[in-house]
Amino acid sequence: MKPDRKKWIEILAVVITGLLKFVMMDWLQMRAFYICGTCLFWFIYVLLKYKSDRRILITWGFKREHFKKSFFILLPFTVLIITSIIIYGVYNEIYMLNWHVIPVFLSYPVWGVMQQFMMLGLLAGNLISIKKTKLKSVQVIFITSLIFSIVHYPDLSLMMFTFLMQLVFTAVYLKWRNLWALGLAHGWIATFLLFIILKRDLWVEFFAWF
């Protein structure tokens, strides 16, 4: 199979994964099954690809190189967003910080890494490397951010925020190609955003179907 065809198949698989979110999470409320199933599927895919190509992890961004650069570039952005969210919560007397925040804060980066792997390692990385598309970095950044935003439909405020956040994340990824730093920032920001701004208890939502 031609390399570009494989890349298009990966992009299609990412799109299908995103569409399944509307069915399993939004409609059936099977959040735990969707998240765990998605992580398992793509983890197995990563392992299979690694067996045939030992350099693929580095290509995708699963590496130590440039972690510090990516992390410290994202740190001011992450701290600013989280601080603003906490100030908003205090000002509006939103008391959502219960013990459920702790397990979500610690585990969400895993889901954050997986999401960024799909959006950046597979979607953005493939779009920019497929020669026939002739897409510039700015166009790839916009397309990736738009798709990530659409996945968060129908919450318009969340769609706008994720679009802006992904603009930053994609730009940083294309510069240094490190998924670990992006996954951490994603997980930490999402934890406070959803608990305080959107008043959602992710711990309860995760086990709601049971």
What's the CA angle centered on 52, arms 49 and 55, to 5 degrees?
75
Over residues 86-106, the mean pLDDT reads: 83
Q: Residue 156 and residue 40: Cα distance in Å, rounded?
A: 29
- Tokens representing 175 are 């510069």
State the pLDDT at residue 203: 87
Domains in the chain: how many in total?
A: 1
Q: Residue 119 and residue 205: Cα distance in Å, rounded?
A: 23
Rg (alpha carbons) of the chain, rounded to whole number: 17
Containing structural domain, residue 56: 3-206
Weakest mean pLDDT among 9-13, 45-49, 154-158, 173-177: 154-158
CA 122 to each of CA 75, 119, 126, 154, 202: distance values in angstroms, whole numbers, following the listed order: 24, 6, 6, 24, 26
In this predicted model, what pLDDT tens digit does every residue of 113-124 receive, in sequence order? 999 999 999 999
Q: Is residue 2 predicted with pLDDT exceeding 90? A: no
| 3-class secondary-structure state, position 129 | helix
| pLDDT category of residue 96 using cuts at 50, 70 and 90 | low
